[in-house]
Chain A
Amino acid sequence: MSQSLDWNAALPARARPRATADPRWLRLGLIGAALVFLGLFLALPLAAVFVHALGAGLAGYAAAIVDPAARSAIWLTLIVAAISVPLNTLFGVAAAWTIARFDFPGRNLLVSLIDLPFAVSPVVAGLIFVLLFGMQGVLGPWLIEHDIRIIFALPGIVLATTFVTFPFVARELIPLMQEQGDEEELAAISLGASAWQTFRRVTLPNIRLGLLYGVVLVNARAMGEFGAVSVVSGHIRGRTNTMPLHVEILYNEYQTAAAFAVASLLAFLAIGTLVARSLLEWRLAKQSAHDGAEEG
């Protein structure tokens, strides 16, 4: 995730010389093995989601989605994403500006700390908020006294989701901004642009695609987070169930078709994320090719 977007950019343009080309049988064998593996592990499960979702027919599919508990889960998932995605995006831009544009003592430590949530199990991420805000938590008695609910309520779900998706935008932007360098921004400042003008007219257009991909990725993870949210939500149906938790409940109640119907909405979200990534990557490759042509 820490890599920039140009995974596909550098396809060798010239034909490979015969001495370093693999024999045909090896090439076909390796391609075949890789495709069988990807097919079994990735394509088959994705297809299975949609086939099982229609297990109770189109009417059953529709009924599972318009069910009040499902609708409230969808609504809650959208609310949580609408809060934590903008917060993490704002943070990502500020952190990337700090880390990619300035050198200061402790910069490497800051980068490591931003990565910290990646190393924490989602269940532990949920647990720390229970230990902080739960009934027996550090702030528990004070919260009860003031009648503030965080655990088993919306704030806890938002906090846990924000924690788990914390590093994504920053990790996407830092390498991108380091690669681009600060010449254009310095030029804008020396020509008399204000800080805000420089950011809006120079930085933002430059990081636009990477930022957009970071947002798409954070959004997918925020809507799909299961472990952390499961610990803090309390599974109150119709109140604190997000879509992944609703899928779990339906599945454990042996309502398989309904579980897969709701799961298929999340699978659509995943497919949308992959399509967005491919499009953005393609645009980015075109942009850098264009920039390269201008420079050359």
Chain B
Amino acid sequence: MRAMPGSRRRSALPGFGPALGFTLFYLSLIVLIPLAALGVKTASFGWDALWTTVTSPRVLASYRISFGTAFAAACTNAVLGLLVAWVLVRYRFPGRALADALVDLPFALPTAVAGITLTTLLAKNGWVGRYLEPLGIQVAFTPLGISVALVFIGLPFVVRSVQPVLEDLEVELEEAAAILGANRWQTFRRVLFPALTPAVLTGFALAFARGVGEYGSVVFISGNMPMKTEIAPLLIVTRLEQYDYAGATAIAVAMLVVSLLMLVAINGLQSWSRTRQRAV
């Protein structure tokens, strides 16, 4: 049903010129020109300065922490998000609608609120932290705490990627598998899981990309110890507060390059997911 290529359609509906013009103008003004400033500044600081900053131990450690905790959180979300999507789509139980609505909470709740709340809950005397303390598990102010915050932030990405695909899956496929003698686990592993893989991966990538750049929910719970729990976005802020613009820019450019590569990967995954969905 999407607009087909062809000059007849293009001429039949009005407004292409003004709409495209405004879209490009606004896109340039808000996004492209400001991003170009980052390129201009990087060039003026020089590539050597950039390389020296990015390869310094403290910056490398912050990348390791940002990417490591985001990866761990995205893996957790891939498993638990699939579980939540499965339960919400396949089972009827009291409170289902409420649980479904609640999944979007991390999209709607400001990250700073999430940050102070999770920190308060997981601190030694917090509602949850006080039960973990005797077990010797410290969550607040450790990399584990950062991952917990990122699991919160990333959960809706996986659930909302998987849910529509799961809803569209034909029951006949599972019936066929059952008739051919597969048990439920075989059906899930051989029939359902391959069909869901692109959606799970898309959700994983979205959650990972969001987690790498996340600031508000992490900065409170991380404790911000250099080399241990200092995330890359926080290091950018620290450098800015010291008026080290070249340093802040260098850290940001490296992060941006990785983010753009991830965006390309996500777009690829999403189109794979769509073709899969259509094929099934």
Q: Give A33 Cβ to nearest chain B Cβ, in Å.
A: 6
A103-B14 contact given A114-B27, A231-B237, CB 8 Å threshold: no
Contact B178 A19 (CB under 8 A): yes
Contact A48 B120 (CB under 8 A): yes
Contact A270 B23 (CB under 8 A): no
CA distance A136 to B249 in the complex (A): 12
Chain B CB within 8 A of A74 CB: no
Q: In the complex, which residues 63-114 of chain A have their Cβ closer than 8 Å to any Cβ of chain B?
A: 87, 90-91, 94-95, 97-98, 100-104, 110, 112-114
CA distance A115 to B271 in the complex (A): 15
**Closest residue of chain A to B6, judged by CB?**
A103
Instruction: Please name all residues of chain B whose beta carbon is closer than 8 Å to the beta carbon of A40 when the two chains form the complex.
Output: 128
Among A9, A10, A220, A227, the one with the most B-chain Cβ atoms within 10 Å of its Cβ is A227
CA distance A137 to B110 in the complex (A): 29
Q: Which of A119-127, A141-149, A204-212, A287-295 lies on the face that meets chain B?
A: A119-127
Chain A CB within 8 A of B227 CB: no
Contact B19 A94 (CB under 8 A): yes
Chain B CB within 8 A of A173 CB: no
Contact B249 A127 (CB under 8 A): yes
A128-B14 contact given A20-B175, A274-B104, CB 8 Å threshold: no
CA distance A216 to B160 in the complex (A): 18
Q: Give A130 Cβ to nearest chain B Cβ, in Å.
A: 7
**Closest residue of chain B to A2, judged by CB?**
B270
Chain A CB within 8 A of B9 CB: yes
Q: Give B194 Cβ to nearest chain A Cβ, in Å.
A: 17
A124-B27 contact given A119-B263, A182-B9, A224-B111, CB 8 Å threshold: no
CA distance A26 to B91 in the complex (A): 11
Identify A22's interface contact among B104, B128, B184, B214, CB under 8 A: B184
Contact B41 A116 (CB under 8 A): no
Chain A binding surface SS class: helix
Contact B5 A227 (CB under 8 A): no
CA distance A9 to B164 in the complex (A): 9
A113-B267 contact given A7-B160, A226-B112, A231-B240, CB 8 Å threshold: no
Contact B151 A41 (CB under 8 A): yes
Q: In the complex, which residues 172-198 of chain B have their Cβ closer than 8 Å to any Cβ of chain A?
A: 174-175, 178-179, 184, 187
Contact B215 A123 (CB under 8 A): yes
Contact B3 A45 (CB under 8 A): no
Among B37, B163, B263, the one with the most A-chain Cβ atoms within 10 Å of its Cβ is B37
Contact A227 B215 (CB under 8 A): yes
Q: Give B258 Cβ to nearest chain A Cβ, in Å.
A: 9
CA distance A29 to B262 in the complex (A): 35
Chain B CB within 8 A of A129 CB: yes
CA distance A46 to B110 in the complex (A): 12
Bitwise, B116-129 to A at CB < 8 A (1) or not (0) is: 11101100000110
Contact A138 B31 (CB under 8 A): no
CA distance A12 to B40 in the complex (A): 55
Contact A277 B104 (CB under 8 A): yes
Contact A127 B3 (CB under 8 A): no
Contact A97 B105 (CB under 8 A): no
Chain A CB within 8 A of B146 CB: no
CA distance A273 to B5 in the complex (A): 37
Instruction: Please name all residues of chain A whose beta carbon is closer than 8 Å to the beta carbon of B140 when the two chains form the complex.
Output: none
A274-B101 contact given A127-B249, A189-B14, CB 8 Å threshold: yes
Among B86, B105, B113, the one with the most A-chain Cβ atoms within 10 Å of its Cβ is B113
CA distance A199 to B12 in the complex (A): 14
21 A-B pairs in the complex with CB atoms less than 8 angstroms apart? A31-B91, A37-B83, A42-B152, A43-B102, A45-B152, A46-B105, A49-B113, A49-B117, A95-B19, A121-B255, A122-B233, A123-B234, A130-B240, A217-B107, A244-B112, A245-B112, A247-B116, A248-B116, A256-B120, A267-B113, A274-B104
Interface residues of A (CB under 8 A from B): 1-3, 6-12, 16-17, 19-20, 22-23, 26-27, 30-31, 33-35, 37-38, 40-46, 48-49, 52, 87, 90-91, 94-95, 97-98, 100-104, 110, 112-124, 127-132, 134, 136-138, 159, 162-163, 166, 178-182, 185-186, 189-190, 195, 198-199, 217, 220-221, 223-227, 230-231, 243-245, 247-248, 251, 256, 259-260, 263, 266-267, 269-271, 273-275, 277-278
Interface residues of B (CB under 8 A from A): 1-6, 9-10, 12-16, 18-20, 22-24, 26-27, 30-35, 37-38, 40-41, 80, 83-84, 86-88, 90-91, 93, 95, 97, 99-114, 116-118, 120-121, 127-128, 151-152, 155, 160-161, 163-164, 167-168, 171, 174-175, 178-179, 184, 187, 209-210, 212-216, 220, 232-234, 236-237, 240, 243, 245, 248-249, 252, 255-256, 259-260, 262-264, 267, 270
Q: Given A166-B31, A231-B237, A245-B112, 5 other A-B contacts at CB below 8 A? A: A30-B91, A97-B19, A159-B30, A256-B120, A278-B101
